Amino acid sequence: MSMLSEALREAFPEELQFDHRQHPSRVICCLLPRERFAEAAKVLKKKYALLAAEWASDETLLGKGFSVYACYRWGKEYLIVRSELPAEDPSFPSLTKKYLPAYRFERQMQSLMGVIPAGHPDLRPWIKFEDWPQDCYPLRKSFDSTEPLPRVDGEYQWAKAEGEGVYEIPVGPVHAGIIEPGHFRFQAVGEMVVNLEERLGYVHKGIEKKFEALSWHDAARLAGRVSGDSTVAHSIAYSLAVESISGLTGCNIPERAHWLRALFLERERIANHLGDIGAVCNDAAFAFMLYQLSRLRELLLRTNLRLFGHRFIMDRVFPGGVSVDITAQGRDEILAEMEIVAKDFERLVEVYEESSSLEDRVRDTGVLKPEKARELCVVGIVARASGMNLDCRIFNPFPPYDQYDRLELDVPVKVTGDVHARVWVRVEETRESIRIIRYILENMPAGPISVAVGDPLPETAGFAAVEGWRGEIIYWLQAGRAGEINRCMVRDPSSVNWLGLEQAIPGNIVPDFPLCNKSFNQSYSGHDL
């Protein structure tokens, strides 16, 4: 029995029930009446649990109303609290006052699913735009996604700052570089930012809705496209979630498939970290690093194309295993490539460390203090740069990372929370990933690389958390009565970390924003879904 569920059992001895259709079994799902939904959060907050995700599901096809879910994380435990809401009155007590990340989760739930978080301080739509009809909720089963929506008039209310010398700078949604769209509104006095408000949702594609129309197998391809730069991590997370509820009891994914997945995952991590470190330096006009690191990144991507058939290794991971194996020759090729990358990377890190003009820009810029990071429940690189020791590969290991005694993963944690800390976490993770790749290649077990996986059991729910290069990616899948996808909840790290950026900016000067933003480098697509 886990610590968190024990705490809930003590607090609500009569009302607490367990939902045994949630898989895998180490992720416990507690059922509480909706009046207790926020109280449970209070109990868990006292136990220092962090809020990992909050979502709602339309369960009319399962003969119920709606359900709201909140997923908490504490050390190695995940706990899901679920409350059922009647269809005619889908309201529940808001968690925002206990947990800050609930602020956006609940706005999103309200906009897209039409469940009402009672007591939420700000119910402006999120992701859904105001020129959509107010009463259309795309994630409900009653929503017809084949009909185009009528446009209505509406205006988004921005937060306002007033006073002498305060002015506003609207930036975006279309930016000067080739990046995704998102709107940032600064209120500044002189060059000092007093408030930053983000507005996202410009790349909302209805991914969660689309999942419900796909077969389990096709959906793996969709999961790989949630955020293109972390396609491997998303595919693995989806596959693990499906495998946890797969019909074949004791569905055993071959060991070699797990190791190959880890190989892809670490290659993705290195490629993205190299790109990010270079991009941060380039935003401080230190272009040399960008070009050199891009060269190394390109090296990796081309090897990916040659060995695995895709530069980003998209669509190579699916429920049941992987679709591409590595030959002995390919193994040697990667080992040789790692040699080059490791050597050149260390030389470039030296350049980074010894450039005092660069150091002056990255230190003490865009600080996200550890206490704030904790309050915002940020994940991944951002969390590790602000003193939080989080990494699914260690704390909630998915295979093959569960063999710690063999892999011995080392997770860098910095406490300063500035741009430099986020760069440095990337530097150390890159070194670590190079080491892991070498270890994987030298110790990979032989055997098949995939098995056939049956359709998931009806009315079950699967869960998986995977450490992508940005951070923890969570998938929660619910199978319907016929075993189809009833709901697929995707929680990209960006869903929580964007709020971290918003909170790190005030107090900085306007021209430092691009640098801070690049050091977070969150996904717009993964957030907007």
What residues from 181 to 210 belong to the interface with another protein (CB under 8 A)? 191
The 8-class DSSP code of residue 473 comes to E
Distance between CA atoms of residues 322 and 314, nearest Å: 11
Candidate segments 2-10, 125-133, 166-174, 386-394, binder of another protein by CB under 8 A: 166-174
Q: Report phi then psi at 199, rounded to 5.
A: -135, 115
Binding flags for another protein, 137-156, as an x/- string (CB under 8 A): --------------------
Q: Give the shortest CB-358-to-another protein separation in angstroms.
A: 4
- Binding-site member from 167, 205, 339, 350 for another protein (CB under 8 A): 167
Distance between CA atoms of residues 382 and 422, nearest Å: 6
Q: Count residues contacting another protein (CB under 8 A)? A: 29
- Binding-site member from 157, 162, 176, 249 for another protein (CB under 8 A): 176
Nearer to another protein, 43 or 362 (CB): 362
Task: By CB under 8 A, tell whether 214 contacts another protein.
Answer: no
Residue with tokens 């970390």: 497
CA count, 13 A, side-chain hemisphere, 401: 22
Distance between CA atoms of residues 439 and 415, nearest Å: 29
Task: By CB under 8 A, tell whether 63 contacts another protein.
Answer: no
Task: By CB under 8 A, tell whether 287 contacts another protein.
Answer: yes
Question: What is the 3-class SS of 236-261, one letter each residue?
Answer: HHHHHHHHHCECCCCCCCCHHHHHHH
- Binding-site member from 40, 220, 314, 358 for another protein (CB under 8 A): 358
Q: Give the shortest CB-169-to-another protein separation in angstroms.
A: 4
Nearer to another protein, 450 or 521 (CB): 521
322 three-state secondary structure: strand
Determine whether 252 is exposed, middle or buried from the number of CB atoms within 10 Å of its CB (0-12, 13-18, 19+): exposed
Residue with tokens 């921005």: 158
Task: By CB under 8 A, tell whether 404 contacts another protein.
Answer: no
- Number of Cβ within 10 Å of residue 259's Cβ equals 22
Task: By CB under 8 A, tell whether 266 contacts another protein.
Answer: no
Task: By CB under 8 A, tell whether 288 contacts another protein.
Answer: yes
Task: By CB under 8 A, tell whether 1 contacts another protein.
Answer: no
Residue with tokens 């990372």: 401
Nearer to another protein, 360 or 371 (CB): 360
Candidate segments 276-284, 339-347, 412-420, 423-431, binder of another protein by CB under 8 A: 276-284
Q: Give the shortest CB-294-to-another protein separation in angstroms.
A: 10
Task: By CB under 8 A, tell whether 355 contacts another protein.
Answer: yes
Task: By CB under 8 A, tell whether 292 contacts another protein.
Answer: yes
Q: Give the shortest CB-426-to-another protein separation in angstroms.
A: 18
Candidate segments 204-212, 218-226, 286-294, 438-446, binder of another protein by CB under 8 A: 286-294
Q: Give the shortest CB-274-to-another protein separation in angstroms.
A: 16
Nearer to another protein, 61 or 171 (CB): 171
The 8-class DSSP code of residue 229 comes to G
Nearer to another protein, 168 or 353 (CB): 168
Task: By CB under 8 A, tell whether 520 contacts another protein.
Answer: no
79 three-state secondary structure: strand
Give residue 162's identity as a one-letter amino acid code. Answer: E
- Binding-site member from 25, 249, 329, 357 for another protein (CB under 8 A): 357
Nearer to another protein, 74 or 345 (CB): 345
102 three-state secondary structure: helix
Task: By CB under 8 A, tell whether 514 contacts another protein.
Answer: yes
Task: By CB under 8 A, tell whether 158 contacts another protein.
Answer: no
**Separation of first and last alpha carbons in the chain:** 35
Task: By CB under 8 A, tell whether 482 contacts another protein.
Answer: no
Among 257, 262, 320, residue whose Cα is nearest residue 446:
257
Handedness of CA 178, 182, 183, 184 (dihedral sign): negative
Q: Give the shortest CB-501-to-another protein separation in angstroms.
A: 14
Distance between CA atoms of residues 411 and 395, nearest Å: 11
Work out whether strand 66-74 and strand 77-85 pair parallel, antiparallel, or are unpaired. antiparallel
The 8-class DSSP code of residue 1 comes to -
Measure the CA angle with vertex 431, ends 428 and 435; round to 5°.
140
Where does this chain bind another protein (CB under 8 A)? 167-171, 176-177, 191, 281, 283-288, 291-292, 355, 357-358, 360-361, 365, 509-514
